[in-house]
A and B are shown apart, each in its own frame.
Chain A
């Protein structure tokens, strides 16, 4: 940061160098919560890079891994360029002091004369030596970490010494130094945070550096991958901020001292820490500062490029290569060499791209701004990362959406404008907005003006990133693998208390030999054999006797492979090796589904058989009923035959008598003839009724429904039966309304019913005292109600249920001579029901009986009186 400017391309100067270190301090305070979880997850799942981490969490998605790698690459080239330039500048200053001019620090010379180029090559060499000796990057590079630690301490001591020296020896202490600075016109303003917008920048920088300390690939490498003991996390939580604190203690004093001593312009401010001791002939101090600074910077570059190269190899190149069939990579004997070569080329390419960027942008000032631009790019990983370890519901599509959207915004608001400012693109879209739309100005999207570019970009990209991430996650569903991985990650502490956090069930058979061959290809023979031996020993097995690999062994192999080629590729390889079917979790779920389907099917079978039983029972009941009806029919026929025969017999007998005795006396002859007549009548009646009933029941009866006046019908029926009543001396009363009552009905049938009821009534009432009432009233449901009431002996209760059935007659058939056929009421019931009504009787012994039937009256829209 060029803190000596009030405002520069990286934002405000002055005190604003500080937030970049305050952010990590804050994040370090919660490292125990966040970082430790990341460490545990990475250990359990053998994760070796941030791309791997993100890809693994969201269902082992190669697409996501590739995207993260690309973003990291694009985003970090400027940062690498920046560090590269810092190193080469330091070198240049050290070598050429005091004749260092600004010219020397530009890169206008051809590249083979450019210090920075050789610096880049040397750094690449170091990185290759350090980072690509083994292939299993899950191994810890404890040597490299120790070296970094050592250099850091050297740097710290050197900077503190320089700071103390400058403040207390060159000047008279902080009061003196700051006092002099306050009097300097340029420096007085730098003690303040600044305007409100600068507060925005302050906050943005703190937040940015907070997440960057988690997601920067080299941070991930050192803090997560290289971690050997989780307890170190808690120690680092205060040690790391303390280091930052001490290193930055004298930044401001040194800067002010430099200006006070050298003025502006001659010596570049970033070199003050070297130039000041040199100016006082404190070469040893300068040398210490130089060595400390240089080695720390080179360590940073090395770790950064190694991390990037690992991601490039594992998450971008290898997945693509493995999928290209004609390369037949999966049949190659030894892939370690390929992987090593890929890594090394990755390192070289990364550093050279950085160098290229240095040449193109040239000016340190521009590059300094790019450092923060890079941070903004990698900060896009933060939502997916942090969300991924705490929120199970985050889906792969959500992460993809968030990353892509955030990256796109970053491109538009920071990278492309930077290119425009370096002259690669026209500045048109920067000044007027894309296609002239002012709301799309990359530095003032949607009118959000007044912020520096970093803050502006951070706000919009995070908004879009988090928004897309959350929204799409809520709207999409997870695959089975995603769900498993989500659980593995979020619940890692709970799960890693067990032995395995396995996500797969292996049904397949793989021979030990196959697995060993596979492993040998990627991690080397010696280590593969050693791992197998260990495995066997731990279980008390003989390694040489093992034939088939069990699930645990397969898992172990997969884990080891993951350390070399990433989890996604490892899975591909192992699944190809295991013979038979490898059961992924999806398949297990399918099997479970099948099982549940079978269960459902059997349940359905049971239900069907129950239904079958019920149907059978119904059939049996119906059968029984039919048999009963059959019996009843037989009964009916026999009864009818009997009923027919009886009068016929009488008629024949009496006719024979008359025939055989021609000189029978007249009185006797008249009597017998009367009997013959009445029996004939009876016979006729019976036959008629049987025919009626047969017609009614078979539906062959013809019905002539017309609108008729019920009152008139009842009156007519009364008249027809009037003689019967007079003969017996029974009184018949009519209670009928005055107005006509129109209903649709069949005249003859209705007459039949009423006449029948009246005849019955007359039969069963005593003479002289008997009284029958014929009554018409409206029914409750809107129809009509006809009642035939008599004051006869009533009907005994036991006869009631079967009253309306065929051949049922009140009175014992033996003792009481039947006066009717027994079919009358059955016919009435049939007719009434056909007409849509009901018929029943209300009676008490010795209280008389009342036969009632109702008929429905459909509503006519016209008035009743028509």
Chain B
């Protein structure tokens, strides 16, 4: 593991200093999985029924609400990640690779 860099060591391009703690990756993947679950057949078929709710067709309502939910989850993750002191320039853990 490399020792943390000081900001002066980092390249001038400001984007390269930012690295999140490893917890963020898991959360994003979780959000992804949530989306998969909500948008894919098993749950999808449950709501694929005729009829309306508040005058709006059920499927339509469900899809848009689910969509909005996923977006809001991602917002939460982004906000939470920033709060967790992501400005410390620590080196990213090794990516999986062969």
Interface residue ranges, A against B (CB under 8 Å) = 15, 18-19, 22, 25-26, 28-30, 32-33, 37, 39-40, 43, 173-176, 178-179, 182, 191-193, 199, 202-203, 206, 227-231, 234-235, 237-238, 241-242, 245, 249, 252, 390-393, 490-491, 493-494, 496-497, 499
Contact check: which of B19, B55, B81 meets A179 at CB < 8 Å?
B55
Docked complex Cα distance between A631 and B53 (Å): 123
Chain A residues with Cβ below 8 Å from B55 are 173-176, 178-179
Chain A residues with Cβ below 8 Å from B28 are 29-30, 32-33, 237
Interface residues of B in 22-50 (CB under 8 A from A): 24-25, 28-29, 31-32, 35-36, 39-41, 44-45, 48, 50
Docked complex Cα distance between A230 and B59 (Å): 37
User: In the complex the two chains form, is A494's CB within 8 Å of B91's CB?
Assistant: yes
Contact check: which of B40, B52, B78 meets A178 at CB < 8 Å?
B52
Chain B residues with Cβ below 8 Å from A28 are 74
Docked complex Cα distance between A634 and B34 (Å): 104
User: In the complex the two chains form, is B31's CB within 8 Å of A175's CB?
Assistant: no
Chain A residues with Cβ below 8 Å from B2 are 494, 497
Chain B residues with Cβ below 8 Å from A192 are 48, 50, 59
Docked complex Cα distance between A227 and B16 (Å): 12
Given A33-B28, A192-B59, A193-B44, do A43 and B13 touch, yes or no (CB 8 Å)? yes
Contact check: which of B29, B31, B78, B95 meets A493 at CB < 8 Å?
B95
Contact check: which of B41, B63, B95 meets A199 at CB < 8 Å?
B41
Nearest neighbor of A18 in chain B, beta-carbon distance: B63
Closest CB pairs A-B (n = 3):
A175-B55, A493-B92, A230-B15
User: In the complex the two chains form, is B20's CB within 8 Å of A496's CB?
Assistant: no
Q: Does B7 contact A (CB under 8 A)?
A: no
With a 10 A CB-CB cut-off, give which of A33, A178, A491, A497 has the most chain B CB atoms: A497
Interface of A is mostly: helix
User: In the complex the two chains form, is B64's CB within 8 Å of A245's CB?
Assistant: yes
Given A175-B56, A231-B15, do A202 and B63 touch, yes or no (CB 8 Å)? no
Return A861 CB to nearest CB of chain B, in Å: 65
Chain B residues with Cβ below 8 Å from A30 are 28-29, 31-32
Q: Does B97 contact A (CB under 8 A)?
A: yes
Docked complex Cα distance between A119 and B62 (Å): 40
Return A113 CB to nearest CB of chain B, in Å: 43
Docked complex Cα distance between A392 and B29 (Å): 21
User: In the complex the two chains form, is B97's CB within 8 Å of A206's CB?
Assistant: no
Return B60 CB to nearest CB of chain A, in Å: 6
User: In the complex the two chains form, is A25's CB within 8 Å of B16's CB?
Assistant: no
User: In the complex the two chains form, is A390's CB within 8 Å of B96's CB?
Assistant: yes
User: In the complex the two chains form, is B70's CB within 8 Å of A26's CB?
Assistant: yes
- Number of B interface residues in the complex (CB < 8 A): 54
Interface residue ranges, B against A (CB under 8 Å) = 2, 5, 10-11, 13-16, 18-20, 24-25, 28-29, 31-32, 35-36, 39-41, 44-45, 48, 50, 52, 54-60, 63-64, 67-68, 70-75, 78, 81-82, 91-92, 94-98
User: In the complex the two chains form, is B20's CB within 8 Å of A490's CB?
Assistant: no
Chain A residues with Cβ below 8 Å from B18 are 230-231
Contact check: which of B36, B64, B78 meets A249 at CB < 8 Å?
B64
Chain B residues with Cβ below 8 Å from A390 are 95-97
Docked complex Cα distance between A237 and B92 (Å): 20
Chain B residues with Cβ below 8 Å from A241 are 67, 70-71, 74
User: In the complex the two chains form, is A29's CB within 8 Å of B40's CB?
Assistant: no
Contact check: which of A29, A182, A202 meets B32 at CB < 8 Å?
A29
Apart from A30-B32, A228-B15, what 9 extra A-B contacts exist at CB < 8 Å? A19-B39, A22-B67, A26-B70, A37-B95, A174-B55, A192-B50, A238-B71, A390-B96, A493-B92
Q: What are 13 A-B interface contacts by the 8 Å CB criterion? A: A15-B63, A29-B73, A30-B28, A32-B28, A37-B95, A182-B57, A191-B59, A193-B48, A202-B44, A237-B74, A241-B70, A490-B97, A494-B91
Return B25 CB to nearest CB of chain A, in Å: 6
User: In the complex the two chains form, is B92's CB within 8 Å of A229's CB?
Assistant: no
User: In the complex the two chains form, is A391's CB within 8 Å of B98's CB?
Assistant: yes
Chain A residues with Cβ below 8 Å from B82 are 234
Chain A residues with Cβ below 8 Å from B52 are 175, 178-179, 182
Chain B residues with Cβ below 8 Å from A229 are 14-15
User: In the complex the two chains form, is A175's CB within 8 Å of B32's CB?
Assistant: no
Nearest neighbor of B89 in chain A, beta-carbon distance: A497
User: In the complex the two chains form, is B15's CB within 8 Å of A43's CB?
Assistant: yes
Given A25-B67, A178-B55, A191-B59, do A40 and B75 touch, yes or no (CB 8 Å)? no
User: In the complex the two chains form, is B45's CB within 8 Å of A199's CB?
Assistant: yes
User: In the complex the two chains form, is A245's CB within 8 Å of B60's CB?
Assistant: no
User: In the complex the two chains form, is A26's CB within 8 Å of B32's CB?
Assistant: yes
Docked complex Cα distance between A237 and B78 (Å): 8
Chain B residues with Cβ below 8 Å from A497 are 2, 5, 10, 91
Chain A residues with Cβ below 8 Å from B36 are 26
Chain B residues with Cβ below 8 Å from A25 are 35, 67, 70-71
Docked complex Cα distance between A583 and B2 (Å): 29
Docked complex Cα distance between A191 and B60 (Å): 7
Return B11 CB to nearest CB of chain A, in Å: 7
Chain B residues with Cβ below 8 Å from A37 are 95
Chain A residues with Cβ below 8 Å from B94 are 491, 494
Given A26-B39, A192-B48, A491-B97, do A496 and B16 touch, yes or no (CB 8 Å)? yes
Return B63 CB to nearest CB of chain A, in Å: 6
Docked complex Cα distance between A37 and B16 (Å): 11
Return A558 CB to nearest CB of chain B, in Å: 17
Docked complex Cα distance between A15 and B44 (Å): 12
User: In the complex the two chains form, is A43's CB within 8 Å of B16's CB?
Assistant: yes
Given A26-B36, A33-B28, A391-B97, do A40 and B16 touch, yes or no (CB 8 Å)? yes
Docked complex Cα distance between A174 and B56 (Å): 6
Chain B residues with Cβ below 8 Å from A228 are 15
Nearest neighbor of A391 in chain B, beta-carbon distance: B98
User: In the complex the two chains form, is B57's CB within 8 Å of A191's CB?
Assistant: yes
Chain A residues with Cβ below 8 Å from B40 are 203, 206
Given A29-B74, A234-B78, do A178 and B56 touch, yes or no (CB 8 Å)? yes
Chain B residues with Cβ below 8 Å from A199 are 41, 44-45
Docked complex Cα distance between A231 and B67 (Å): 23
Chain B residues with Cβ below 8 Å from A203 are 40-41
Nearest neighbor of B57 in chain A, beta-carbon distance: A191
User: In the complex the two chains form, is A245's CB within 8 Å of B81's CB?
Assistant: no
Return A260 CB to nearest CB of chain B, in Å: 15
Docked complex Cα distance between A600 and B29 (Å): 51
Chain A residues with Cβ below 8 Å from B91 are 493-494, 497
Return A314 CB to nearest CB of chain B, in Å: 23
Chain A residues with Cβ below 8 Å from B63 are 15, 18, 22
Docked complex Cα distance between A26 and B71 (Å): 9
User: In the complex the two chains form, is A238's CB within 8 Å of B74's CB?
Assistant: yes
Chain B residues with Cβ below 8 Å from A178 are 52, 55-57
Docked complex Cα distance between A252 and B64 (Å): 12
Chain A residues with Cβ below 8 Å from B57 are 178, 182, 191
Return A232 CB to nearest CB of chain B, in Å: 8
Docked complex Cα distance between A234 and B72 (Å): 13
Chain B residues with Cβ below 8 Å from A234 are 78, 81-82
Docked complex Cα distance between A496 and B12 (Å): 12
Given A32-B24, A176-B55, A178-B52, do A22 and B39 touch, yes or no (CB 8 Å)? yes
Docked complex Cα distance between A391 and B2 (Å): 22
Return A23 CB to nearest CB of chain B, in Å: 9
Docked complex Cα distance between A245 and B44 (Å): 18
Chain B residues with Cβ below 8 Å from A499 are 11
Chain B residues with Cβ below 8 Å from A40 are 16
